[in-house]
Amino acid sequence: MPTLADVRRIADRLPGSEERATTGGAAWFVRGKLYAWECHPWPSIPDDMRAIVASELVVAVKVADELDARALVEMEPDVFLRTTTRWSEPKVAFRMARIDEQHLAELVTEAWRTQAPRYLRGEFDTA
């Protein structure tokens, strides 16, 4: 089962990525733009989703658009949560206990790509 240490390891290899502690837990930014974060059971989250977030580690990442988020939820509803909050849309939240490490790496890297400036994406692609 992947942990936040795995998210850190993935994020550490992405140019310009930095981790910050927030009220909800750990969060990762590139050039000041949020791209991945540990979810917290905020009161604004629907009750059924808040129960999941309160009982296990859930991470959210930015996605290119709402269609990408919906597709992930529909393909793997036991992994991806149908909704959390409207903040930081478009995004998708997932249960760390149910995701494999390769898919985690893809999600974090693609989230970084949605927020990273072109020159950092180019630096990553040539490395």
pLDDT 10s digits, 1-26: 899 999 999 999 999 999 999 988 99
Q: Using a cut of 0.75, tell me whether the model's pTM lies above it.
A: yes
In angstroms, the CA 41 to CA 35 distance is 19
In angstroms, the CA 3 to CA 56 distance is 11
Domains in the chain, please, with CATH? 4-118 (3.90.1150.30)
77 contacts 54 by C-beta, under 8 angstroms: no
Helices (runs of H) and strands (runs of E) counted in the chain: 5, 6
Q: What does the pLDDT read at residue 24?
A: 82
Q: What does the pLDDT read at residue 36?
A: 97
Lowest mean pLDDT of 1-10, 56-65, 86-95, name the range: 86-95
* Burial letters 35-45, b for 16+ CB under 10 A, else e: bbbbbbbeeeb
Q: What does the pLDDT read at residue 83?
A: 79
